Amino acid sequence: MNLESLYREEWRRVLATTVRLTGDFDLSEEAVQDAFVAALEQWPRDGAPSNPYAWLVSTARHRVVDQLRRRARFPGKPVAFDRLAILETSEIDLSETAMVDDQLRLIFTCCHPALAVEAQVALTLRTVCGLTTEEIARCFLIPVATMAQRLVRVKRKIRDAQLPFAMPPRDRLAERLDGVMLVVYLVFTEGYAATSGQLWIRRQLCEEAIRLGRLLCDLIPRNPELRALLALMLLHHSRRDGRTGPDEEIVTLEEQDRSLWDRRQIAEGVPLLEAALHDGAKSEYAIQAAIAALHARAERAEDTDWAQIARLYDALLEKRPSPVVQLNRAAAIAMAEGPAKGLALIAEIEAKGELAGYHLLAAARADLLRRERRWAEAADAYMQAEDWARVCAIYQEGIATGNATFEQSAPGWEKWDSSHLPAARLVARSGGDILGWAALSPVSSRCAYAGVAEVSIYVAERARGRGVGGELMARLIEESEAAGIWTLQAGIFPQNVASIALHQRFGFRMVGHRERLGQMNGRWRDVVLMERRSQVVG
Amino acid sequence: MEYLLLIYDVEADIAKMRETDMGAMYQEFGRFTEGIQKSGNFRAGKQLEPVATATTIRVRDGKPTVTDGPFAETREQLGGFYWIEAKDLDEALAIAERCPGARIGSIEVRPIVPPRT
C-alpha cells in the first residue's frame, strides 16, 4: 500500500466527513492527521483494511472523542457535551452520497465569501487539496510562519463566527459556486502566471487547480460552467512546455514550438469545452477557453483564426470591460485585419490613460510597428554607443558556439566601429534589454564593390528561436537598400543550419561551398557563401 | 449563537434626507424589527444619537480622561445596532441583508462571545 497516494486520495474525503461529525475544523484536521499516522504504523504490520476511508474516519472520530474528553477535565474550557454524546454513540453515514455532500460542504465552507479571498485560497489548498502549510507557503513565496498564521486566523473565524459547514441555500448556489470557481482559477493563475518561484512549484499549483476542477465536475455533474473552467485550465496548461524557454523566459504564443504542447490535454479540453458551450456555458472562463481552443487547434501560428478570436474578445469585453481585455482585443484585430487597425485601437486605449505605464501596452505597440515595418517609430531601433557592452556580450555568446565566426574573441569598440559601415547598425530591444544585433561590413575598398557588404547577425542565446533574427534581417535589408547597398553576402559555417535557413528565407541564394577556407583551433573549416542581390538598388 | 449587527452610515447623508424619505425609512426599520421579532431572532435593537453627542472616556493609572467625540473618526459612523440570535453566520448574514441599514450604509456582523459554562 502506497501511503503517499492514499493520503492524496483519502485526505479530503476523510477530513470532510470528520468535520461533518465534529463541526470543528481544527480538531478534525489534527485527528485526521493522527489517523494517517496510525495507518502508517498499523497497516504495514496488520494489513490494510478493506475500506481505508471508513477505517480512517472511525480512527479520526475516536481521536476527536479522546480530545474532547481530555478537554472536559480542564475547567474553563467549553466543551460541546451534546456533540460529544452524538459522536460517541451515533452511526456514521459513510454512503457515497454522504461522502459527496461532505466534500461539497467542505469546499463551500473553505470558499465562503465571509473569508478573505487569499484565506479562501490557502484554506482550500490546505483542507481540500491536503497540501501542507510549508508547501502552500512555498507556492506563494511567503514565510511559513505567515502562512501558518493566516490559516490559524481563518480557522478561528470559522469557529468563532460559526460559519456553517453546509451547502449554500438553493437560491444562492450559483453565486456561491462562482466564488468557488474563482478560488480554483486563482490557484491556477497563481501557478500559471507567476513570474517568480520555481517552475515545478508553479506547475504543482496548476495541477492542484486542475484536480480541483475535476473534483467539482465529479461532485456537481452536468454543470456547464464548471466544465468550461476545467477546459480552460487544461487548454492553458497544455502549453506549459512550450511557453518557457531554457532559462524560464516566457515565449510568446506565436513563437512557441507547438510540438511541445500536450496533445492529450488538448484532446480532453476541446470536447469538454464544446459540450459545455452546447449546454449553455457563457462565463468568462468559457469565452477564454474558447480562445484557448482556437489557439490549440491552429497547427502553426499563422493558421490561427484571429477573426474568430477577435469576436470572442468582443464578448469578453462585454462581461469585463477592462483595458487589458481591450488590449488583447486590439492585438487580435491587428492579426485579423492588419497592424494599422490594431495600432489605431491601441492609440485609443492609450488616450484613455488607464494603461499608462503598463509594459504590455508598449510591447504590443512595438510589435505592431514592427509588423507594419515602421521601424523608425519602433523606439530605439538603432545601436547606440552605450549598447556596446550588451552587443559585445551577445557577440561573445555567438563566438562561444564555435559555429558563428572565425573570430576567437570580440573586438573592442574602436576596432568594431572602424570595421563596420555606419549605416544599418541595428539592435532588437525588448523592454530595457537587447535581444540581438545586426550590422554590415565592407567586403572590399575597391570602388566597384562599394555596394557590396557582409552581413553580421547575432541573437542572444536566451532569445533564440523567437523570431528575433528574422526581424533583424528584414530591417537590415531595408536599411542596406536605403543606404545604396546592392549586394549582401554572408559566409556561414555549414554546421550553422539555423543561420543558413534564415538567409534562405530572406532571398539569399547559395553561391558556393568553399572548402577548407580557414583554420579554427587547428582545424580546417568549410564556409558556405550566400548572397542576396537587391531588386531595387542599382 | 448570538450576533451583533452594527449599522454604519454617513450621518451627513442621513441629515440631508427629505422628511418623507426619512419617514419611509423608519417604517421599513419598523417592519424589519417586527419580522425578526416574529421569527424569534430578535434580542434587542436601538438607534443611536449622532456622533456629535458622543463622549469618550479612558482610565489610565487610575485617572479618567474624558474627551468629546467618538473613539475613532471614520467616514461612516455607527448609527444603531441589532442584537440577534441566529443558527450560524449564514443565517445572521441573511438577516443583516434584509435590514434597511444595509442599503443605506453597511452592516458589520460580529459574533458575540458565548457565555462560558
At A488, which helix (H) or strand (E)?
strand A487-492
DSSP string spanning A409-447?
Answer: SPPPHHHHHHHS-STT-EEEEETTEEEEEEEEEES-SSG
A239-278 burial string, b = 16+ CB within 10 Å, else e? bbebbebeeeeebeeebbebeebbeebbebbbebbbebbe
d(C-alpha B50, C-alpha B15), whole Å = 10
Name A511's bridge partners: none
* Nearest-5° Cα angle at A280, A276 to A282: 90
Q: Give the span between the Cα atoms of A518 and A511, in whole angstroms.
A: 18
Give the DSSP H/E element, type plus range, for residue A531.
Answer: strand A523-533
The answer to whether A210 touches A230, Cβ cutoff 8 Å, is yes
> Domain B2-111 adopts which CATH fold?
Alpha-Beta Plaits (3.30.70)
Q: What is the DSSP letter of A162?
A: T
- Give the pairing type, strands B2-9 and B77-85: antiparallel
- Looking at the DSSP bridge assignments, the partners of residue B66 are B57
Q: Which residues of A touch B95 (CB under 8 A)?
A: none
What would the grid cell of residue A241 be? 512546455
- Are the Cβ atoms of A78 and B116 closer than 8 angstroms? yes
Q: What pLDDT digit, counting tens, does each position of A450-487 carry?
A: 899 999 999 988 877 767 888 888 888 888 888 889 99
Which among B89, B113, B116 has the least Cβ separation from residue A163? B89
**H or E element that contains A529:** strand A523-533
Residue in the structure block whose three cell numbers are 566601429: A417
Number of other CB atoms surrounding residue A282 within 10 Å: 14
Amino acid of residue B105: G
Question: What residues of chain A lie within 8 A of the CB of B114, using their CB?
Answer: 78
State the smallest CA–CA distance between residue A128 and chain B in angstroms: 21
Which residue in A76, A78, A164 is closest to B89 by CB distance?
Answer: A164
Tell me which residue has cell 469546499: A107
Q: Which three cell numbers mark A34?
A: 493522527
What was the ipTM of the complex prediction?
0.88
For cell 467618538, name the residue: B70
List Cα–Cα distances, A35 to A41, A60, A126, A356, B50, in angstroms: 10, 5, 17, 55, 56
Q: Where are the extended beta strands (E) located within B11-105?
A: 42-47, 55-60, 63-68, 77-85
How far is A153 from chain B, CA to nearest CA, in Å? 15
User: Hey, what's the cell of A400?
Assistant: 562561444
* Helical residues (DSSP H) of A111-172, grouped into ranges: 117-123, 133-139, 144-160
Selecting from A76, A78, A114 the residue whose C-beta is nearest the C-beta of B89 gives A114
First-residue to last-residue Cα distance in chain B: 14
Q: Which A positions 168-187 lie with beta carbon below 8 A of chain B?
A: 168-169
Contacts of A24 (CB under 8 A, 6+ apart): A64, A159
Could you read off the pLDDT of B35-94 as tens digits, one per residue? 999 999 999 999 999 999 999 999 999 999 999 988 888 889 999 999 999 999 999 999
- Smallest Cβ–Cβ distance between B116 and the set A76, A112, A169 belongs to A76
Closest chain A residue to the Cα of B93, Cα to Cα = A114
Alpha helices in A321-437 (DSSP H): 323-337, 339-352, 359-371, 388-401, 413-419
- pLDDT per residue as tens, chain A (538 positions): 577 788 888 999 999 999 988 888 888 999 999 999 999 899 989 998 999 999 999 999 999 988 888 877 776 555 666 666 667 767 778 888 888 999 999 999 999 999 999 999 999 999 999 888 998 998 888 899 999 999 999 999 998 999 999 889 888 899 999 999 999 999 999 888 765 567 777 888 899 999 999 999 999 999 999 999 999 999 999 999 888 877 777 777 888 899 999 999 999 999 999 999 999 999 999 999 999 999 999 998 889 999 999 999 999 999 988 888 998 999 999 989 888 888 888 888 878 877 766 667 767 777 777 677 665 555 456 787 778 888 999 999 888 888 888 888 888 888 888 889 888 888 887 767 888 999 999 988 887 888 999 999 999 888 777 678 888 888 888 888 888 899 999 999 998 888 898 898 888 999 999 999 988 888 899 999 999 998 888 7
Backbone angles phi, psi at A429, to 5 degrees: -110, 150
What are residue A519's DSSP bridge partners? A524
Nearest by Cα to A362 from A389, A384, A380: A380
The reply to whether CATH 3.40.630.30 applies to domain A385-533 is yes
How does strand A426-430 pair with strand A433-442? antiparallel
The answer to whether the CB of A21 falls within 8 A of the CB of A58 is no
Chain B within 8 Å of A78 (Cβ-Cβ)? yes
Q: Do B88 and A166 touch (CB under 8 A)?
A: yes
- What does the pLDDT read at residue A22? 84
Distance CA A471, CA A502 (A): 10
Residue of B nearest to A109 (CA): B90
Q: In B, which residues are within 8 Å of A176 by CB distance? A: none
Q: Do B93 and A114 touch (CB under 8 A)?
A: yes
- CATH 3.40.630.30 residue ranges of chain A are 385-533
Task: Compute how many other C-beta atoms are within 10 angstroms of the C-beta atom of residue A422.
Answer: 9
With CB atoms and an 8 Å threshold, state whether A164 touches B114. Answer: no
Give me the residue label for grid cell 531588386: A535
Q: Which three cell numbers stand for residue A326?
A: 481591450
Pairing of strands A487-492, A452-459: parallel
User: Do A284 and A320 contact (CB within 8 A), yes or no?
Assistant: yes
For the record, the C-alpha cell of A65 comes out as 472523542
Give the E-state strand segments of B1-105 in sequence order: 2-9, 42-47, 55-60, 63-68, 77-85
Pairwise CB contact (< 8 Å): B111 & A166: no
Report how far residue B48's alpha carbon sits from residue B105's, in angstroms, rounded to the nearest whole number: 14
d(CA A190, CA B80): 41
Partner B contacted by A494 (CB < 8 A): no
Residue A338 region, left (φ>0) first, then alpha (ψ -120 to 50), else beta? left
CA distance B111 to chain A (A): 5
- Residues B4 and B85: their CA atoms lie apart, in Å, by 9
B64 forms beta bridges with B59
A485: region left, alpha or beta (phi > 0 left; psi from -120 to 50 alpha): beta
The residue to which cell 461612516 is assigned: B76
Q: What is the pLDDT of residue A433?
A: 80
Closest to A226 (Cα-Cα) out of A291, A293, A275:
A275
Q: What is the pairing mode between strands B77-85 and B106-111?
A: unpaired
* Closest residue to B89, CB basis, from A76, A78, A162: A162
